C-alpha cells in the first residue's frame, strides 16, 4: 500500500493564505490586534505578579480601573505613553525592537 505524502505549511504561509500577504490592510490589522492581545496579557501577568488589583494599578498610573481593564483585555488601543507609565508603575522594564531592513535598532 502506497502512503500519501502530506504537504506541510509554515505559519507564515498560512497567514499569507488565510489572512493576507504581509503589507496588506487585513494582515496589518491582524498583526496589530495580535500585538495588542499579547501586550494586554503581559500587563495583566505583571500586575498579578505584583499582587495589585486593576484599581490599585490605575491609581499608580493615574487612570481609572476601567482603562486598566481595557488594556488587559485588548479592547482599547493605548498610547505608548500610557503603556510606558503602566510598566513603570509595575516596576517592569520594557524594551522595543525596531527593524529597519536588515538592521535592528533597540530602544530601551
- Residue 64, domain member (yes or no): yes
- Residue 3, domain member (yes or no): no
Residue with cell 493615574: 62
- Residue 4, domain member (yes or no): no
Residue 1, pLDDT > 60, answer: yes
Residue-level length of the chain: 108
CATH label of the domain that carries residue 49: 1.10.260.40
Residue 103, pLDDT > 70, answer: no
Nearest partner of 96 among 87, 59, 17, 67, judged by Cα = 87
3-state secondary structure of 21: coil
- Going by pLDDT thresholds of 50, 70 and 90, the confidence category of residue 38 is confident
For residue 19, the enclosing domain spans: 11-107
CA-CA-CA-CA dihedral for 55, 44, 27, 15, to nearest 10: -160
pLDDT at residue 58, as a whole number: 95
- Residue 5, domain member (yes or no): no
pLDDT at residue 37, as a whole number: 87
- Residue 1, domain member (yes or no): no
Name 22's Cβ contacts closer than 8 Å, sequence gap at least 6. 15, 16
3-state secondary structure of 99: strand
- Residue 35, domain member (yes or no): yes
Selected residue with higher pLDDT from 94 and 96:
94
- Going by pLDDT thresholds of 50, 70 and 90, the confidence category of residue 79 is confident
Mean pLDDT of 72-84: 82
Amino acid at each position: 500500500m502506497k502512503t500519501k505524502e502530506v504537504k506541510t505549511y509554515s505559519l507564515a504561509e498560512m497567514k499569507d493564505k488565510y489572512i493576507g500577504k504581509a503589507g496588506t490592510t487585513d494582515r496589518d490589522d491582524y498583526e496589530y490586534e495580535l500585538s495588542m492581545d499579547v501586550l494586554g496579557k503581559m500587563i495583566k501577568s505583571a500586575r498579578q505578579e505584583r499582587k495589585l488589583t486593576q484599581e490599585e494599578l490605575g491609581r499608580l498610573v493615574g487612570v481609572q480601573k476601567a482603562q486598566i481593564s481595557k488594556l488587559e483585555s485588548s479592547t482599547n488601543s493605548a498610547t505608548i505613553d500610557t503603556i510606558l507609565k503602566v510598566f513603570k508603575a509595575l516596576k517592569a522594564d520594557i524594551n522595543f525592537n525596531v527593524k529597519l531592513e536588515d538592521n535592528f535598532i533597540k530602544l530601551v
